[in-house]
Amino acid sequence: MRIKKILLLLLIPILGIVSVILPVLFLPDLKHYDAPLFPLLRTGIEGMSLWSVGFLFLTGLIGRLFVNLSVWKIGILAIVLFPLAAFCEMKVDPTSHNLFPIEFFFYALYSIPAMLGAYIIQGIESFDPNKEIKK
């Protein structure tokens, strides 16, 4: 049972990365960027589109459906691999992320669609049609 929960918790960060990389694969007009380790991820982040935002929203929906976590934890899990990838790239090439505090601020903003998706599912789960209406 514990392994299943860990796997489900790993699902959210993986979906978060896929949410940003997937539009790169089917949007031909995106400018491709070089990066020391993760060029697809950098291209996805630099060329953030409505597709990416929509996929991050779906990540929050799916995450809240399968894992009973608070909304903000799902938002953090959805973007946790972005700063980790940036730290790895900074280790390989210290000049690659010279504005990393601003970059991390944008990562925090990217968690908002996932939190909105999780919040919608939380609202649906809390709705009980059998609850009596108080007069």
Summarised one tens digit per residue, pLDDT across range 5-61 is 888 889 999 999 999 999 999 988 888 888 889 999 999 999 899 999 999 999 999
Structure token digits, residue 135: 């007069």
**Domain carrying residue 45:** 11-122
In a domain, 106, yes or no: yes
129 in a structural domain: no
The total domain count for the chain is 1
Asked, for residue 113, whether it belongs to a domain, the answer is yes
Q: Which tens digit of pLDDT belongs to each residue from 84-113?
A: 999 999 999 888 888 888 999 999 999 999
On whether residue 87 sits in a domain, the answer given is: yes
CA–CA separation, 17 vs 33, rounded Å? 17
Q: How does residue 135 score in pLDDT terms, banded at 50, 70 and 90?
A: very low
What the block records as the tokens of 87 is 């730290």
Q: Which of 68, 63, 74 is nearest to 112 (CA)?
A: 74
- Residues ≥6 apart with Cβ < 8 Å to 19: 52, 55, 56, 58, 59, 78
Tell whether 128 is covered by a domain: no
pLDDT (0 to 100) of residue 35:
86
* 112 assigned to some structural domain: yes
